[in-house]
């Protein structure tokens, strides 16, 4: 398999590693609410990444013209679900907002890491 074809799987694995490192990094602060916020945000971000990846695979596997419309509708649904989850976490569960923001940054940190890796090769 080509290196570029392995990239989505590598990104998915690295998301979990980054989330684990962020959780371990939060332990010295002895703030369980912060750690729980990081975990919740990380799970939301990783779930959104997985959902996007699955949608793109489906789009590329279906050459029919309706696949694009289904992908666009699925994107709107995905964003609405992720927004709803975030609102529920902040408004109802009262999760630690800073922790949630840090957790939601897992995929962004991963993409930044990938960019730096590719730039310095």
Is residue 4 a part of any domain in this protein?
no
pTM beyond cutoff 0.95? no
| Interaxial angle between packed helices 97-104 and 3-26, expressed in degrees from 0 to 180 and rounded to the nearest 10 | 160
Is 61 within a domain?
yes
Would you say residue 2 lies in a domain? Answer: no
- 42, 22 contact by CB (below 8 A): yes
- Helical H segments across 1-120, by residue range: 3-26, 32-61, 66-87, 97-104, 106-119
Q: Is the residue at 80 inside a domain?
A: yes
- 22 lies in a domain? yes
User: What confidence tens digit (pLDDT) does each residue in 59-92 have?
Assistant: 888 877 788 888 899 999 999 999 999 999 999 9
Rounded Cα–Cα distance for residues 28 and 56 (Å)? 39
Give pLDDT < 50 ranges for the chain: none
If one counts the domains in the chain, the total is 1
Does residue 87 lie in a domain region?
A: yes
Please check whether residue 1 lies inside any domain of the structure: no
Give domain status of residue 121, yes or no.
Answer: no
DSSP classification of residue 64 = S
Q: Are 103 and 42 within 8 A, CB to CB? A: yes
> The domain containing residue 109 runs over which residues?
10-116
């Amino acid at each position: 398999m080509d290196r570029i074809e392995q990239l989505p799987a590598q990104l998915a694995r690295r998301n979990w590693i980054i989330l684990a490192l962020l959780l371990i990094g939060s332990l010295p602060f002895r703030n369980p609410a912060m750690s729980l916020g990081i975990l919740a945000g990380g799970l939301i971000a990783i779930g959104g990444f997985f959902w996007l990846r699955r949608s793109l695979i489906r789009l590329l596997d279906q050459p029919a013209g309706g696949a694009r419309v289904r992908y666009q509708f699925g994107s709107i649904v995905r964003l609405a679900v992720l927004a709803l989850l975030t609102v529920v976490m902040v408004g109802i569960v009262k999760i630690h907002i800073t922790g949630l923001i840090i957790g939601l940054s897992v995929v962004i940190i991963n993409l930044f890491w990938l960019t730096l890796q590719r730039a310095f090769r």
